[in-house]
Amino acid sequence: MSGLFQDDPPPQDDLPPPPPDGPGLFGDALPVALPEPEHAVAYRVLARKYRPTIFDDLIGQEAMVRILRNAFAIGRVAHAFMLTGVRGVGKTTTARIIARALNCVGPNGTGGPTPDPCGVCENCTAILADRHPDVIEMDAASRNGVNDVREIIEAVRFRPMQARNKVFILDEVHMLTTQAFNALLKTLEEPPPHVKFIFATTELRKVPITVLSRCQRFDLRRVRVAELSAHYGRIAQKENVAIEQGALEQIARAADGSVRDGLSILDQAIAQADGTITTAQVTDMLGLADREAVFDLMEAVMGGKPAAALAITDSAFDRGADLGVMLQDLLDLTHTLTRLKSIPALRESQDLPEAERTRGAALADRLSVPVLARAWQMLLKGVGEVETAPDRKAAAEMVLIRLCHVADMPTPGDLVRRLTSATASAAPGSPVTPPAGGGGARAVAGGAPVLADPGPAIAPAPAVPRFTTFRDVVAFVGAQKEAMLHAHLLHSVHVVRFAPPVIEIRPQPEAPRALASDLAKLLTAATGTRWTIAVSVAQGEPTLAEQGAAADTARRSAAADHPLVRAIMQAFPGARIDTVHDRTADAYGLPAAPSADEADIPPFAPPEADYFDEDPMEIDS
């Protein structure tokens, strides 16, 4: 029982305060507590929202889908797959579809492996949500060491906890170290029956061949522009977004065969557009030049109109386009025009956009393949120049000006045809003389003469070399690819007497003992005349190398004594003469010797010689 002076019980802070029974202190109505707002659902980007979940959703990979479907149908599913291709074509997505197909049990829980996973069973939903304990994904870009692979090898020994198969998906597998690959080889070759490996890579050449030989390989190809454009159009309809066909083609072209890249661009276009997404909006967003402007630019440069070409680039630059990208567009258009020129049936292909089929076909008819090939080479070099230039705009304009400058220049083939026609028309009406042996000329339509086949040509007899100096002999030995013999003749031989077919020499001690006999055999075989190479102890001439060095020193001295050179040396202290080139010198740095034919010509009489005529001509008056 509480006493008179018992304290009141302490207040309980965790109890809610009693509701007020009247207005507030100042007579105002009490505020009404609002319900807490529900959490907003996080937005999923289009690349994740429309990620394929079954084989039929994959676009552009018909060959791979057909092989995998057949493999599941007949029960011949490999234990390891290698999926390769550029980014965004569906490698990881395909790996997850394979994992679901291996582990799907159907809506009733009694199904087996199937190429059409149900998507509603426990295994399918768990794999779709990336939370299945038996489907292990590893990013080899960040986990690429031996210890990471050892974890996989250790996990392989245990049976699946829930699914039918334990699936290991290794993305960017080429990033594994050499030691990690070696550690994986034995397990990859003979895995347990309940284990499947699926590898994905963008750099197949970096994967060891020992790993590739243990996998079933699938090359996922780039998706074509037409397929991407149709795919993005279907997604835009599902998102209730209006978009022009030209904008879809622009996005598909910018995706460069990657479905994911194109979806990211489409996501960005939807976010920045107000109403219908137009081609111009996509062009401005990507910093690209309008496709029609690229055609206009191609017509301007091929027509040799630099003013029109620069006006187009100025307008594109003002809109924010990168002129380096515009040159790449020109390069791509040049390739397309060359294909249209070479394969006319492409003009009816639905894989090409409308502009390529109409304006591109007209341009291809006007331009020749040599002209397109020349433009390709110049643009290819120009794109590299733009990437390294300090001013990209100036570099791109210089490339376009060069293209305009060569537009009216004939190709090498045109020059040959013009020279040939000029030679043929130089003597109109000249008869065509038939060659001996029954050959002749025949006429075709229009009366143009065509030379008949003159028959097999008779090869002329090989000319016998003639040697007037020892230098001729040394040069001949060098031409016969006798490198060692040529080197010793140049540096280790002093000529005592040169009187063909006899040569008297003094070899230096470092020269080989068989030098004389080898030289005699070579000259005898070449001329058909027996040559004698005698060894002497006389001093003889300096070697050819010594003569060349002396001639070079003399040229340097002569150049140094020139008044202009002396003035330059005085104006630039520390300067030196590096090399003096003499166009009249031969390969050994010596004045060119007279040829064999010139040596047989007798010298002219000196100017002071008297005129003498043994048989004066008589003149009748």
Residue type at 55? Answer: F
Local structure of residue 552 (DSSP, 8 states): H
Clarify whether residues 184 and 302 are in a common domain. no
Residue 9 CB neighbour total at 10 angstroms: 7
Better-predicted residue by pLDDT, 464 or 362: 362
Domain assignment of residue 276, yes or no: yes
Better-predicted residue by pLDDT, 568 or 81: 81
Place of tokens 């010689």: 609
Domain assignment of residue 448, yes or no: no
The two three-digit tokens of residue 148, written as one number: 């990471």
pLDDT band at 38 (very low <50, low <70, confident <90, very high): low
Q: Determine the Cα–Cα distance for residues 73 and 225; give it in Å rounded to an integer.
A: 32
Buried-exposed string 262-290: b where 16+ CB fall within 10 A, e elsewhere: bbbbbbbbeeebeeebbbebbbebbebbb
Residue 1: pLDDT over 70: no
Clarify whether residues 56 and 193 are in a common domain. yes
Spatial contact of 142 and 151, defined as CB atoms under 8 Å apart: no
Q: Which of 219, 251, 276 is the last residue of a domain?
A: 219
Q: Determine the Cα–Cα distance for residues 63 and 61; give it in Å rounded to an integer.
A: 6
Spatial contact of 265 and 330, defined as CB atoms under 8 Å apart: no
Residue 581: pLDDT over 60: yes
Clarify whether residues 114 and 172 are in a common domain. yes
Nearest to 371 by CA among 398, 325, 337: 337
The CATH code of the domain that includes 107 is 3.40.50.300
* Per-residue model confidence as pLDDT tens digits over 377-386: 999 999 999 9
Local structure of residue 572 (DSSP, 8 states): S
Q: Average the pLDDT over 42-66 and give the result.
A: 88
Clarify whether residues 262 and 394 are in a common domain. no
Q: Determine the Cα–Cα distance for residues 153 and 259; give it in Å rounded to an integer.
A: 34
Clarify whether residues 522 and 556 are in a common domain. no
The CATH code of the domain that includes 484 is 3.30.300
Residue 290: pLDDT over 90: no
Q: Determine the Cα–Cα distance for residues 199 and 145; give it in Å rounded to an integer.
A: 16
Place of tokens 């295994």: 123
Q: Determine the Cα–Cα distance for residues 287 and 323; give it in Å rounded to an integer.
A: 9
pLDDT band at 347 (very low <50, low <70, confident <90, very high): confident
Nearest to 320 by CA among 295, 291, 286: 286
Q: Determine the Cα–Cα distance for residues 485 and 489; give it in Å rounded to an integer.
A: 6
Clarify whether residues 206 and 299 are in a common domain. no
Domain assignment of residue 621, yes or no: no
Residue 608: pLDDT over 70: no
pLDDT band at 610 (very low <50, low <70, confident <90, very high): very low
Clarify whether residues 193 and 310 are in a common domain. no
How high is the mean pLDDT of the chain? 80
Which pLDDT value is given to residue 95?
A: 93
The CATH code of the domain that includes 238 is 1.10.8.60
Nearest to 247 by CA among 300, 285, 193, 283: 283
Q: Which structural domain range is residue 338 located in?
A: 291-405
Supply the angle between the helices 392-405 and 306-318 in degrees, to the nearest 10.
Answer: 160
Clarify whether residues 492 and 558 are in a common domain. no
Q: Whole-model pTM?
A: 0.54
* Cα atoms found within 13 Å of the Cα of residue 394, Cβ hemisphere only: 4
Handedness of CA 439, 440, 445, 448 (dihedral sign): positive
Q: Which residues contact 472 (CB under 8 A, 6 or more apart)?
A: 465, 466, 593, 596
Residues paired with 449 in a beta bridge: 443
The CATH code of the domain that includes 368 is 1.20.272.10
By percentage, how much of the chain surpasses pLDDT 90? 28
What is the SS3 assignment for 598? helix
Which pLDDT value is given to residue 397?
A: 92
Handedness of CA 137, 140, 143, 146 (dihedral sign): positive
The two three-digit tokens of residue 157, written as one number: 């020994």
What is the SS3 assignment for 44? coil
Nearest to 246 by CA among 333, 322, 355: 355
Domain assignment of residue 122, yes or no: yes
Q: Average the pLDDT over 334-361 and give the result.
A: 81
Clarify whether residues 537 and 551 are in a common domain. no
What is the SS3 assignment for 168? strand
pLDDT band at 93 (very low <50, low <70, confident <90, very high): very high
Which pLDDT value is given to residue 16?
A: 54
570 burial level (CB within 10 Å; 0-12, 13-18, 19+): exposed
| Total tally of structural domains belonging to the chain | 5
Q: Determine the Cα–Cα distance for residues 239 and 236; give it in Å rounded to an integer.
A: 5
Residue 475: pLDDT over 50: yes
Domain assignment of residue 480, yes or no: yes
pLDDT band at 289 (very low <50, low <70, confident <90, very high): low
Spatial contact of 261 and 88, defined as CB atoms under 8 Å apart: yes
Domain assignment of residue 453, yes or no: no
By percentage, how much of the chain surpasses pLDDT 70? 80
What is the SS3 assignment for 542? coil
Clarify whether residues 274 and 346 are in a common domain. no
Q: Determine the Cα–Cα distance for residues 147 and 114; give it in Å rounded to an integer.
A: 34
Q: Average the pLDDT over 125-138 and give the result.
A: 90
Which DSSP string do the residues of 416-477 spell out, in sequence order? HHHHHHHHHHSSTT---PPPSSS--EEE-GGG-EEEPP--SPPPPPPPPP--SSHHHHHHHH
Omega prior to 603 cis, within 30 of 0: no
Q: Which of 219, 245, 274 is the last residue of a domain?
A: 219
Residue 510: pLDDT over 50: yes
Residue type at 495? Answer: V
Query: DSSP E strands: which ranges in 213-328?
Result: 216-219
Rounded to the nearest 10°, the torsion over CA 296, 300, 306, 307 is -50
Clarify whether residues 208 and 95 are in a common domain. yes
Domain assignment of residue 34, yes or no: no
* Per-residue model confidence as pLDDT tens digits over 193-238: 999 999 999 999 999 999 999 999 999 988 888 889 999 999 999 9
Domain assignment of residue 459, yes or no: no
Q: Determine the Cα–Cα distance for residues 391 and 398; give it in Å rounded to an integer.
A: 11
Q: Which residues contact 614 (CB under 8 A, 6 or more apart)?
A: none
339 burial level (CB within 10 Å; 0-12, 13-18, 19+): middle
Clarify whether residues 232 and 156 are in a common domain. no
For residue 286, what are the CA distances in angstroms to 253, 281, 324?
11, 9, 13
